[in-house]
Amino acid sequence: MIHSLFLINSSGDIFLEKHWKSVVSRSVCDYFFEAQERATEAENVPPVIPTPHHYLLNVYRHKIFFVAVIQTEVPPLFVIEFLHRVVDTFQDYFGVCSEVVIKDNVVVVYEVLEEMLDNGFPLATESNILKELIKPPTILRTVVNTITGSTNVGDQLPTGQLSVVPWRRTGVKYTNNEAYFDVIEEIDAIIDKSGSTITAEIQGVIDACVKLTGMPDLTLSFMNPRLLDDVSFHPCVRFKRWESERILSFIPPDGNFRLLSYHVSAQNLVAIPVYVKHNISFRDSSSLGRFEITVGPKQTMGKTVEGVMVTSQMPKGVLNMSLTPSQGMHTFDPVTKLLSWDVGKINPQKLPNLKGTMSLQAGTSKPDENPTINLQFKIQQLAISGLKVNRLDMYGEKYKPFKGIKYMTKAGKFQVRT
Amino acid sequence: MTDSKYFTTTKKGEIFELKAELNSDKKEKKKEAVKKVIASMTVGKDVSALFPDVVNCMQTDNLELKKLVYLYLMNYAKSQPDMAIMAVNTFVKDCEDPNPLIRALAVRTMGCIRVDKITEYLCEPLRKCLKDEDPYVRKTAAVCVAKLHDINAQLVEDQGFLDTLKDLISDSNPMVVANAVAALSEIAESHPSSNLLDLNPQSINKLLTALNECTEWGQIFILDCLANYMPKDDREAQSICERVTPRLSHANSAVVLSAVKVLMKFMEMLSKDLDYYGTLLKKLAPPLVTLLSAEPELQYVALRNINLIVQKRPEILKHEMKVFFVKYNDPIYVKLEKLDIMIRLASQANIAQVLAELKEYATEVDVDFVRKAVRAIGRCAIKVEQSAERCVSTLLDLIQTKVNYVVQEAIVVIKDIFRKYPNKYESVIATLCENLDSLDEPEARAAMIWIVGEYAERIDNADELLESFLEGFHDESTQVQLQLLTAIVKLFLKKPTETQELVQQVLSLATQDSDNPDLRDRGYIYWRLLSTDPVAAKEVVLAEKPLISEETDLIEPTLLDELICYIGTLASVYHKPPSAFVEGSRGIVHKSLPPRTGSSESAESPDAAPSGAPPSEQPAVIPTQGDLLGDLLNLDLGPPVSGPPVATSSVQMGAVDLLGGGLDSLLRSDVGGSPAMGGTGFTAPSAVMPANLGPPPSGGLGDLFDLAGGVGTLSGSHVAPKTVWLPAMKAKGLEISGTFSRQVGAISMDLLLTNKALQVMSDFAIQFNRNSFGLAPAAPLQIHAPLAPNQTVEISLPLNTVGSVMKMDPLNNLQVAVKNNIDVFYFSTLYPLHILFVEDGKMERQMFLATWKDIPNENEAQFQIKDCPLSADAVSSKLQGSNIFTVAKRNVEGQDMLYQSLKLTNGIWVLAELRIQPGSPSFTLSLKCRAPEVSHYVYQAYETILKN
């Protein structure tokens, strides 16, 4: 199972190590550094690195490498999922996950890591349970602890640890009982030069924030559950009920959690809410190139597209760009060759446009590769797949909760080839 | 205030200061000091000197302080074993604490202190905790057994902890079950033979129940454990699958992949006709696709596994091509994996899309990726024949971009395309030659030189081109040098008059000026060949090359099956069995997929038992016209069939064999070798007996020999009734039915041609594609008069076995082209192997014994021949008619054992042991042969002969 964990920052310092079995010398990380050097970019470091006696599995999050060391045959996904859970837990505990924060809370981090694994076997990874075992630091608690000498380690066995609903603690009380659900859909798409869709799919999630007293039993039904044929559930969802009635029935965890994620595959028709018109031309043996892009709404179901951001990695031969946007701000970094244009809202009457010239390295032939345009946008109050929640009911408790559903569509990996 | 204060140091020396604080009376100060110690430890500083002081803080009611001290202990106990003993008492006491949290903490920490002396004290508390009333303590104790086993395996066994652990699999609490399974799996990994996880239907049922209720991590352990179980029949397999499928919708990708493993493995046992099989296939696709929308690291592992899954069961993801399209900001390791899977999924249906994508990728920035994309285009051309033309034109477009590395990769793959589709795309050579100067990588240069040499007769200035390479001969890499040598020799053989000087130059460069032994040897071989026998040189150097196979990078099936059992593990990421790389895997047990059983009669599913008689398989091997087209297009179908030269000198034959031998393990010999050799031993390449001249003159002598052996002989091999090979519908009215026969040493193909069309047919000709045993027509197809409508002609076509050899699948597949005045028609048929059994196939007893022993046991194959109510003698004489000779007969415990030998036309000996139980109609046939791939076909021949 998982032997050790090293946290390494982007400049190559190991700033935390934790061993769950015998101590593994940190020199094992040299193999990681070698791989890192070869990869040139942090994102390209291979996730599995073999060494003569160990395997290093790593994830790169928040500019930190989380490197797990294993010695025997362990499912790599198990390790990677666990590392993700570590990142999530840190974020949950400290608000952000960064080198500074981890160093500032090194003892809590260490205690938490110790609770998460025992001999490399996962012990408590639900943040509900962890928070009962090790209380997250708050300013108030630190002050109180210093005065009273009490600790931030719980001395009771967490109630959820062994129940059939391990994700929920007992004795939850709220004065305001509320349950909010966010249906968030991301469109991943590749659009070709001529504007036709090569592939498009939707990754959707339903994130919930449930603050309800006692042991509520919720059911959530959809107007069109047919859309959900490829789903992954939080363990709280009763799978049989979904199979037979297409209704989500569950006892929710307390607080924030991801109830469900789903995938609407490339085989269904996915509506594309924006289009990009582009005219980027390099000419041989000319030091000037032309550049123009226009962004416009396509299938938006009458909603406004906002938060639009266009980024593009320009070819190496582009020395500089002089562009004028009809709205928003744009920057071009001549070192990284990254063009970004913060467009903001799309007004269908006056389409945003960015136009100008590129100065190219003189005397070289035109670049081999065409820049790809990366698009970000948001549409409020719309789930582009058409998914709609029908109703939410609560059983098992007598009070009336506040309920709310929000929809949002975002661009995921949305790329336009030129 | 944050923990970073713990890192600040004073000038006096950190350790000194901490020591003072640790010994302070104030609880708060102590705790702060321990925190400082821990903080130093986390960044790898050595604070082991503080050991006694920290351990002194252990006796406390403050749980946080206790935990902190424990953390310290676990890290440093090993370096201070004597001091660690001091802590034992506290542990033992804590194991009795009323608070389960403290009990669990104590047993958990104790297991982590890897000091031998402590483990002795650990046994009693651990035993108690394993039976604790609180499941939280039990589950912690279960893991502790695994820890202890790691430190002292013998102790764990002696104390009987393993049995207690096994009992925990039936615990009422699912978390305890999951941890017990995890602990046992870990222990089992270092004890492969211990049979710790002895699974039976009852324990499986318990695991399946626990599966629904335990945490995600527990589910992974249980699923991985389930995957090792071998269900007793397909019903059990199906019911397990049904209960595992819901896990495919789990949010944790490791759970999903472990579930996929169980399903992929057990699916093997389900009959393909089952409705459930289809349902399961459909259910597998969405979760695999979903894995690809996860973080890149998860995607990578998922893709490596999907790569295995699409090789094993391509049908699962065949419609999901688009999810593998590459996004430009995917990490490189994801891009490369996606590309690989795209090619595996490429088919005629989606090739246009795939090519458009690949062309797009070829203009990306990342050089490695671009190179692989260009190679992928070449692989598509080879894999999907219909796309070859489009691929070639895409490659030409890419060459026009003049991007150096793109051009070089393109040339390398075009060479492969030439090998696959000879004489089709040579028109592009001119374009390739334009780029000659820009090639600077050895592989590309070698590829280009190969092309120039191979097609020298079509390139006007081939000699100039090659000469230009020759100038810097010594600076080239070996690969290029070897290729250049061969190419110039080819050129010389094609245009001898103009290039004599060039060839001498290269030969002297290779043999005199080079110190590379390979180069020198190849140079000498060419030199000798050219000087002694230019005709032979031509035969050798310009011999027709076998076509390259479709996919060279497929994982070999047995390895693939093993890897399927390891889905989700490191083995699946590396595509190697764990035995090949996991450290400390002492003699790992090889896993294998369960055999397909089917509770209904196994005979019903064709691939259940190798009992499929040849006729029933026949339709399966008839390829579509398109498949054959490429192979047969270049066959010369002119009326005077130019068969291979009948009387080739044996020396020359030998030479061809020597050099062409690499393409097949099957050694070639000739038909009906001299009877004097009968029974004396292995084949010798002596006189070639042209088979089409009828039976060899001394054939009768061979028969006499056999008669002397005392066993009666029939006049010829068994001949199967004629079957329709080419239905009239498919051949514009020409119906061909036929069979094969062997009469005293001569093989013939007996054909019945019927004209069912309304017009007269004439100008018949026949040609065979290369096949496993080199079968070829020994004479042209002699149909003198035109075939009138509704007329039938019977003809016997003599065959020989000196044609060119290419291994076919199935081995006895023969692809035939027949031409008449209307069109060319293609069909394929399976010939019974016994037509290849030669007359001198009787081995001497001594020789038989020695050979039988000499052939390794893994080459032995066993078959059952059912419903054959014959006596041993009848069997013996019947088989002898088809040249299967009984060497000896014995009677063992009431059973008749016949030891038999036979020899194939290419000199392969097959030894057989036939066990006949008097009164029972089933025989057991054991075959031993140095080329075990023929065994199955020999068995088929036995069956055919004995049942007719």
| A183-213 pLDDT, tens digit each | 999 999 999 888 888 888 899 999 999 999 9
B327 at the A interface (CB within 8 A)? yes
Q: What kind of architecture, by CATH, is found in domain A274-380?
A: Sandwich (2.60)
Stated as kind and residue range, the H or E segment containing A9 is: strand A2-9
Q: Tell me, what's the pLDDT at A41?
A: 84
A203: closest CA of chain B, how far (Å): 7
Q: Tell me, what's the pLDDT at B514?
A: 82
3-state secondary structure (DSSP) of residue A20: coil
Q: Tell me, what's the pLDDT at B895?
A: 80
Indicate if the pLDDT at residue A411 is higher than 50.
yes
Reading the block at residue A139, the tokens are: 């300013």
Pairing of strands A14-19, A402-417: unpaired
Q: Provide DSSP, B659-680.
A: HHGGG-SPPP--TT--GGGTTT
Q: What is the pLDDT of residues B3-57, one digit of tens each?
A: 656 665 544 567 788 888 888 777 778 888 888 888 888 777 788 888 888 888 7
- Taking alpha carbons only, the member of B369, B255, B260 closest to residue B317 is B260
**What is the pLDDT confidence band of residue A135, given thresholds at 50, 70 and 90?**
confident
B577 at the A interface (CB within 8 A)? no
Indicate if the pLDDT at residue B223 is higher than 60.
yes
Q: Are B188 and B197 a contacting pair, CB within 8 Å? A: yes
Burial of B150 (0-12, 13-18, 19+ CB in 10 A): middle
Give A-chain residues touching B401 at CB under 8 angstroms. Answer: 368
Same fold, A178-270+382-416 and A274-380: yes
Closest partner residue to A47 (CB to CB) among B99, B297, B325 is: B297
C-beta atoms of B44 and A14 within 8 A: yes
| Residues contacting residue A282 through CB under 8 Å, at least 6 positions apart | A289, A315, A317, A358, A360, A366, A367
Q: Provide DSSP, A301-354.
A: TTPPPEEEEEEEE--TTEEEEEEEESSSEEEEETTTTEEEEEEE--BTTB--EE
Q: What is the pLDDT of residues B237-259, one digit of tens each?
A: 999 999 999 899 888 999 999 99
pLDDT, average across residues B418-440: 83
C-beta atoms of B7 and A53 within 8 A: no
Burial of B221 (0-12, 13-18, 19+ CB in 10 A): buried
> Which residue of chain B is at minimal alpha-carbon distance from A371?
B364
Q: Tell me, what's the pLDDT at B711?
A: 39
B571 at the A interface (CB within 8 A)? yes
**What is the pLDDT confidence band of residue B883, given thresholds at 50, 70 and 90?**
confident
Q: Tell me, what's the pLDDT at A196?
A: 87
Q: What is the pLDDT of residues B359-404, one digit of tens each?
A: 888 888 788 899 999 999 988 888 888 888 889 988 998 888 888 8
Angle, helices B253-267 vs B275-291, to 10°: value is 150
pLDDT, average across residues B89-108: 85
B135 at the A interface (CB within 8 A)? yes
Q: Tell me, what's the pLDDT at B589?
A: 55
Range with top average pLDDT, B288-302, B595-609, B782-796, B806-820: B288-302
> Which residue of chain B is at minimal alpha-carbon distance from A46?
B333
pLDDT, average across residues B297-307: 94
What does the DSSP 8-state code read for residue B633? T
pLDDT, average across residues B273-301: 90
> Which residue of chain B is at minimal alpha-carbon distance from A241?
B246
B253 at the A interface (CB within 8 A)? yes
Longest dimension (CA), chain B: 121
**What is the pLDDT confidence band of residue B789, given thresholds at 50, 70 and 90?**
confident
> Which residue of chain B is at minimal alpha-carbon distance from A263?
B290
B32 at the A interface (CB within 8 A)? no
Q: How far apart are the first and last CA of chain B?
A: 96
Q: What is the spatial distance between Cα B291 and Cα B300, in angstroms, rounded to a whole number? A: 10
Reading the block at residue B880, the tokens are: 């002898």
Range with top average pLDDT, A271-285, B195-209, B245-259, B524-538: B245-259
3-state SS, one letter per residue, for A26-79 = HHHHHHHHHHHHHHCCHHHCCCEEECCCCEEEEEEECCEEEEEEECCCCCHHHH
B121 at the A interface (CB within 8 A)? no
State percent of chain B over pLDDT 70: 84
CA angle B322, B324, B329 (to 5 degrees): 115
Least confident of A403-412, B6-15, B809-818: B6-15
pLDDT, average across residues B341-370: 88
Q: What is the spatial distance between Cα B392 and Cα B382, in angstroms, rounded to a whole number? A: 11
Q: Tell me, what's the pLDDT at B262?
A: 93
Domain range list for chain A:
2-148, 178-270+382-416, 274-380
Give B-chain residues touching A229 at CB under 8 angstroms. Answer: 286
What is the ipTM for the molecules in this complex? 0.84
Q: Are B910 and B938 a contacting pair, CB within 8 Å? A: yes
pLDDT, average across residues B687-714: 40
Residue of B710 and B908 predicted with greater confidence: B908
Residue type at B85? I
A418 at the B interface (CB within 8 A)? no
Within a 13 Å sphere around the CA of A154, how many CA atoms are in the beta-carbon half? 18
**What is the pLDDT confidence band of residue B881, given thresholds at 50, 70 and 90?**
confident
Within a 13 Å sphere around the CA of B169, how many CA atoms are in the beta-carbon half? 25
Reading the block at residue B522, the tokens are: 């190849």
Q: B777 - beta bridge partners?
A: B799
B209 at the A interface (CB within 8 A)? no
Give A-chain residues touching B251 at CB under 8 angstroms. Answer: 232-235, 258, 261
For residue B350, CA distances in Å to B320, B396, B628 come to 10, 21, 22
Q: Tell me, what's the pLDDT at B296?
A: 92
State percent of chain A over pLDDT 70: 90
> Which residue of chain B is at minimal alpha-carbon distance from A187?
B293
A140 at the B interface (CB within 8 A)? no
**What is the pLDDT confidence band of residue A157, given thresholds at 50, 70 and 90?**
low
Q: Are B3 and A103 a contacting pair, CB within 8 Å? A: yes
- Taking alpha carbons only, the member of B859, B875, B867 closest to residue B927 is B859
- Taking alpha carbons only, the member of B817, B836, B712 closest to residue B766 is B817
What's the CATH code, domain A178-270+382-416? Answer: 2.60.40.1170
What does the DSSP 8-state code read for residue B596? P
The Cβ of residue A316 has, within 10 Å, a number of other Cβ atoms equal to: 13
> Which residue of chain B is at minimal alpha-carbon distance from A262?
B290
Residue of B521 and B660 predicted with greater confidence: B521
Q: Tell me, what's the pLDDT at B669?
A: 39
For residue B586, CA distances in Å to B147, B582, B838, B843 come to 19, 9, 49, 44
Fold classification of A2-148 (topology level): Beta-Lactamase (3.30.450)
Indicate if the pLDDT at residue B943 is higher than 90.
no
The Cβ of residue A63 has, within 10 Å, a number of other Cβ atoms equal to: 12
Give CA torsion, residues B273, B279, B280, B285, to 10 deg: 130
Q: What is the pLDDT of residues B192-201, one digit of tens each?
A: 656 677 788 8
C-beta atoms of A111 and B67 within 8 A: yes
3-state SS, one letter per residue, for B402-460 = CCHHHHHHHHHHHHHHHHHCCCCCHHHHHHHHHCHHHCCCHHHHHHHHHHHHHCHHHCC
Cβ contacts from A onto B, under 8 A = 259
Closest partner residue to A55 (CB to CB) among B2, B293, B570 is: B570
pLDDT, average across residues B893-909: 83
Phi then psi for residue B166, to 5 deg, are -60, -35
Range with top average pLDDT, A79-83, A281-285, B766-770, B900-904: A79-83
C-beta atoms of B293 and A188 within 8 A: yes
A178 at the B interface (CB within 8 A)? no
| Mean pLDDT over the full length of chain A | 86
Burial of A347 (0-12, 13-18, 19+ CB in 10 A): middle
> Which residue of chain B is at minimal alpha-carbon distance from A235?
B250
Indicate if the pLDDT at residue B701 is higher than 70.
no
B662 at the A interface (CB within 8 A)? no
Mutate to test the interface with B, among A77, A85, A134 (most CBs of B within 10 A): A77
- Taking alpha carbons only, the member of B400, B361, B401 closest to residue B377 is B361
Q: Tell me, what's the pLDDT at B708?
A: 38
B444 at the A interface (CB within 8 A)? no
Indicate if the pLDDT at residue B644 is higher than 50.
no
pLDDT, average across residues B176-187: 88
A16 at the B interface (CB within 8 A)? yes
Reading the block at residue A172, the tokens are: 């939850």
A74 at the B interface (CB within 8 A)? yes
Residue of B610 and A103 predicted with greater confidence: A103
CA angle A95, A97, A102 (to 5 degrees): 105
C-beta atoms of A157 and B136 within 8 A: yes
Phi then psi for residue B88, to 5 deg, are -55, -45
pTM above 0.90, yes or no: no
The Cβ of residue B437 has, within 10 Å, a number of other Cβ atoms equal to: 8
Phi then psi for residue A65, to 5 deg, are -90, 125
A159 at the B interface (CB within 8 A)? no
Closest partner residue to B147 (CB to CB) among A119, A125, A203 is: A119
Q: Tell me, what's the pLDDT at B284?
A: 92
Please provide the size of chain B in residues. 948
Closest partner residue to B258 (CB to CB) among A75, A84, A266 is: A75
> Which residue of chain A is at minimal alpha-carbon distance from B248?
A232
pLDDT, average across residues B826-836: 85
Q: How many helices (H) and strands (E) does chain B have?
A: 39, 13
Least confident of B63-67, B483-487, B496-500, B579-583: B579-583
State percent of chain A over pLDDT 90: 40
> Which residue of chain B is at minimal alpha-carbon distance from A42?
B331
A369: closest CA of chain B, how far (Å): 5
> Which residue of chain A is at minimal alpha-carbon distance from B149?
A119
Q: Tell me, what's the pLDDT at A147?
A: 57
Give CA torsion, residues B293, B295, B297, B301, to 10 deg: -30
Q: How far is CA B378 from the centre of its chain?
A: 22
Reading the block at residue A249, the tokens are: 């029935």
Q: Tell me, what's the pLDDT at B460?
A: 82
Q: Tell me, what's the pLDDT at B599?
A: 44
Q: How far is CA B234 from the centre of its chain?
A: 26
Q: How far is CA B944 from the centre of its chain?
A: 31
C-beta atoms of B6 and A107 within 8 A: yes
Mutate to test the interface with A, among B25, B64, B261 (most CBs of A within 10 A): B64
Q: Tell me, what's the pLDDT at B657?
A: 39
Rama region for B681: left / alpha / beta (φ>0; ψ in -120 to 50; rest): left
Q: What is the spatial distance between Cα A55 and Cα B295, in angstroms, rounded to a whole number? A: 20
B213 at the A interface (CB within 8 A)? yes
3-state secondary structure (DSSP) of residue A263: strand
C-beta atoms of B186 and A72 within 8 A: yes
| Residues contacting residue B808 through CB under 8 Å, at least 6 positions apart | B771, B772, B814, B815
C-beta atoms of B302 and A77 within 8 A: yes
Restricting to B residues 278-317, those with a Cβ less than 8 Å away from any Cβ of A are 286-287, 289-290, 293, 295-298, 300-302
Q: Tell me, what's the pLDDT at B305?
A: 94
Q: Tell me, what's the pLDDT at A155?
A: 59
| Residues contacting residue B859 through CB under 8 Å, at least 6 positions apart | B928, B929, B930, B932, B935
C-beta atoms of A47 and B357 within 8 A: no
B186 at the A interface (CB within 8 A)? yes
